[in-house]
Amino acid sequence: MKQPTAIVIGAGIIGLALARALAVRGYKVTVFERNERAVGASIRNFGMIWPIGVPNGTAYERALRSRAIWREFLDTTDVWYSPSGCLHAAYAADEMDVIEEYVAANAKLRPCSVLNADAAFARSPAIVREGLRGALWSEDEMVLDPRVALRTLPGWLHERHGVEFRWRHAVNRIEYPHVWSGMRRYSADAIYVAGGADFETLYPELYDSAPITKCKLQMLRLVAQPADFKLGPALCAGLSMVHYPGFQVAPGVAALRARYAHEHADLLARGIHVMAVQNGLGQITTGDSHEYAHTHDPFDEASINTQMLDYLRRFANFPDWRIAQSWHGIYPKLTDGRSELVLEAEPGVTIVNAPGGGGLGMTLSFGLCEELVEGRYASAQSDNGTAVNADRHG
Ligand SMILES: Cc1cc2nc3c(=O)[nH]c(=O)nc-3n(C[C@H](O)[C@H](O)[C@H](O)COP(=O)(O)OP(=O)(O)OC[C@H]3O[C@@H](n4cnc5c(N)ncnc54)[C@H](O)[C@@H]3O)c2cc1C
């Protein structure tokens, strides 16, 4: 029997996750990427594999499956990663309330616990001790360096799964079963589009009708810290607890958000919540802000970087605060609260975008794409009673 063929457009994490899933399913896969290497959202992020950010149920299971696939890759290469877990530090009674509620709701579902201040400090020497009441400790989370991982994954997919890559091949037209890159035409039995924030070039009419906008996030990297300094777990504080849907199980989140809306209005206006991770070179990656628009100002705001570092100083101490790099990334953001965008653009052509509603592609893509290719995909939203299966447009 003839081996089925698939074309995947985009070599970000979604495209690579699709390529893996299709190859495992027996497809001969070719990935088309318009750049010489991936330079989109997938190399601009924290590299956090972040189950704590997603709700219980389908999304959490998907995150754990994705983490297992990441481990298949990481454990068979020399790409650095750390199964570090994460700490959310609390400096106020209402922050501790949320942490205690979160742990009470999840005690039987996730490996998490409440730490007192001494125990939190013992886990991370970077945590600001003064005023610390305690912290949420979660073991699920993992950190990798996305720049290294995304550079190495294509070679691994080629060696392990025979995936072919056509770099510097922008796809400018699709009409199933064909895709065109310039004047050259290629064909496949299945076509998947994983173009990230560039959604409108190939399917402008779908982009216009989809519940989607774009989120711009500013990020910073601090220089390598002295060799004897180890951050340990990924470090977060209260603003992250009101940002991620995973914390909605804690009833106190609403009151906390209301207090922050008053006390941190300037930060919330720019969608700032601050987290810090350390990579294998000892550098600290931190951010981020969230601004929503279809077209973004291409310039970064120094004042946003200052706001983020000021908030970070409330809960983190680093030996060296010098900034090595700053940048921004853009991902598509769904505006109707659905958990990802899966569209059949035309029969045989599937668009996959915005896992976790936009900001959790590193955490969810491997699991999501496996479900899709194996035909057992159901929107993570179905847990909330609003099932959204693959929408049909055409
Ligand atoms: C600052 C920031 C921090 C984040 N932090 C995290 C995190 O810690 N953990 C987490 O889980 N998620 C995080 N995310 C979200 C995550 O990065 C995204 O969900 C994910 O990278 C999206 O992957 P993608 O493949 O859709 O997009 P991209 O990585 O942008 O890839 C899309 C690719 O498609 C290519 N392409 C587009 N059109 C064409 C075409 N016509 N022809 C050929 N190629 C084309 C592009 O060149 C690009 O390489 C973060 C995002 C940002 C921006």
pLDDT of the residue at 379? 77
Q: Which atom of ligand 1 is nearest to the CA of 362?
A: 11
Q: How far is the CA of 40 from the centre of ligand 1 (A)?
A: 5
Q: How far is the CA of 248 from the centre of ligand 1 (A)?
A: 26
Residues 161, 29: contact at Cβ < 8 Å?
yes
Which tops the pLDDT comparison, 379 or 92? 92
194 within a domain of the structure (yes/no): yes
Question: In CATH, what number is assigned to the domain containing residue 131?
Answer: 3.30.9.10
Lookup result for tokens 């998490």:
112
Q: Is the pLDDT of residue 305 over 80?
A: yes
Q: Is the pLDDT of residue 386 over 70?
A: no
> How many Å apart are CA 251 and CA 249, to the nearest integer?
6
Whether residues 259 and 377 fall in one domain: no
pLDDT of the residue at 381? 64
Query: What average pLDDT does this structure show over 65-78?
Result: 98
Q: How far is the CA of 375 from the centre of ligand 1 (A)?
A: 23
Whether residues 273 and 300 fall in one domain: yes
Whether residues 130 and 242 fall in one domain: yes
Q: Is the pLDDT of residue 391 over 80?
A: no
Report the candidate in 14, 18, 155, 8 with the shortest Cα–Cα distance to residue 79: 155
247 within a domain of the structure (yes/no): yes
Query: What average pLDDT does this structure show over 68-94?
Result: 98
Say which amino acid occupies 235.
L
3-state class of 103 per DSSP? helix
> How many Å apart are CA 208 and CA 210, to the nearest integer?
6
Q: Which atom of ligand 1 is nearest to the CA of 181?
A: 42
**Mean pLDDT score across all residues of the chain:** 95
Q: Which residues pair with 361 in a beta bridge?
A: none
Lookup result for tokens 């209402």:
94
Q: Which residues of 129-152 are buried (b: 16+ CB within 10 A; e: fewer)?
A: eeebebbbbbbbbbbbbbbbbbee
173 within a domain of the structure (yes/no): yes
Structural domain of 55 = 5-65+146-210+337-392
Query: What average pLDDT does this structure show over 348-367?
Result: 96
Whether residues 238 and 362 fall in one domain: no
Of 315, 334, 353, the domain-final residue: 334
Q: How far is the CA of 293 from the centre of ligand 1 (A)?
A: 17
Q: How far is the CA of 161 from the centre of ligand 1 (A)?
A: 22
Q: Which atom of ligand 1 is nearest to the CA of 197?
A: 30
Q: How far, in whole angstroms, is CA 316 from its chain's centroid?
A: 23
80 within a domain of the structure (yes/no): no
Nearest CA to ligand 1 atom 37: 195
> CA distances (Å), 236 to each of 135, 149, 355, in order?
9, 23, 22
Q: How far is the CA of 357 from the centre of ligand 1 (A)?
A: 13
Whether residues 26 and 151 fall in one domain: yes
Q: Model confidence at 380, in pLDDT bands (50, 70, 90)?
A: confident
What proportions of the chain, in percent to the nearest 5, are helix, strand and coil? 35, 25, 40
Q: Is the pLDDT of residue 388 over 80?
A: no
> CA distances (Å), 27 to each of 8, 99, 183, in order?
11, 45, 25
Which residues sit with their C-beta closer than 6 Å to ligand 1?
Answer: 9-15, 32-35, 38, 40-42, 44-48, 50, 170-171, 194-198, 201-202, 217, 219, 287-288, 329, 331, 353, 355, 359-363
Of 286, 305, 334, the domain-final residue: 334
Nearest CA to ligand 1 atom 33: 10
Q: How far, in whole angstroms, is CA 185 from its chain's centroid?
A: 33
- pTM, whole model, 2 decimals? 0.96
Whether residues 311 and 358 fall in one domain: no
- Ligand 1, residues 141, 168, 360, 364: which to mutate, most atoms within 8 A of Cβ? 360
Q: What is the CA radius of gyration of the chain?
A: 21
pLDDT of the residue at 273? 94
Whether residues 308 and 218 fall in one domain: yes
Nearest CA to ligand 1 atom 26: 196
State how many domains the chain has: 2
> How many Å apart are CA 152 and CA 19, to the nearest integer?
14
Question: In CATH, what number is assigned to the domain containing residue 32?
Answer: 3.50.50.60
Query: What average pLDDT does this structure show over 88-96?
Result: 98
- Ligand 1, residues 16, 46, 236, 240: which to mutate, most atoms within 8 A of Cβ? 46
pLDDT (tens digit, 9 = 90+) per residue, 167-210? 999 999 999 999 999 999 999 999 999 999 999 999 999 999 99
358 within a domain of the structure (yes/no): yes
81 within a domain of the structure (yes/no): no
> CA distances (Å), 100 to each of 110, 247, 270, in order?
14, 11, 28
pLDDT (tens digit, 9 = 90+) per residue, 337-347? 899 999 999 99
> How many Å apart are CA 215 and CA 197, to the nearest integer?
9
Of 317, 334, 351, the domain-final residue: 334
220 within a domain of the structure (yes/no): yes
Q: Which atom of ligand 1 is nearest to the CA of 361?
A: 19
Q: Which atom of ligand 1 is nearest to the CA of 39?
A: 49
Whether residues 252 and 388 fall in one domain: no
DSSP 243-262: HSGGGGGSTTHHHHHHHHHH
Q: How far is the CA of 355 from the centre of ligand 1 (A)?
A: 10
DSSP 175-224: ETTEEEETTEEEE-SEEEE--TT--TTT-HHHHHHSSEEEEEEEEEEEPP
Whether residues 178 and 256 fall in one domain: no
Whether residues 266 and 308 fall in one domain: yes
Q: How far is the CA of 197 from the centre of ligand 1 (A)?
A: 7
Query: What average pLDDT does this structure show over 319-328?
Result: 98
Whether residues 128 and 240 fall in one domain: yes
Residues 341, 353: contact at Cβ < 8 Å?
yes
Q: How far is the CA of 329 from the centre of ligand 1 (A)?
A: 8
189 within a domain of the structure (yes/no): yes
Report the candidate in 80, 90, 139, 144 with the shortest Cα–Cα distance to residue 117: 90
With a pLDDT cut of 90, the percent of the chain lying above it is: 94
Whether residues 384 and 265 fall in one domain: no
pLDDT (tens digit, 9 = 90+) per residue, 241-266? 999 989 999 999 999 999 999 999 99
Q: How far is the CA of 12 from the centre of ligand 1 (A)?
A: 5
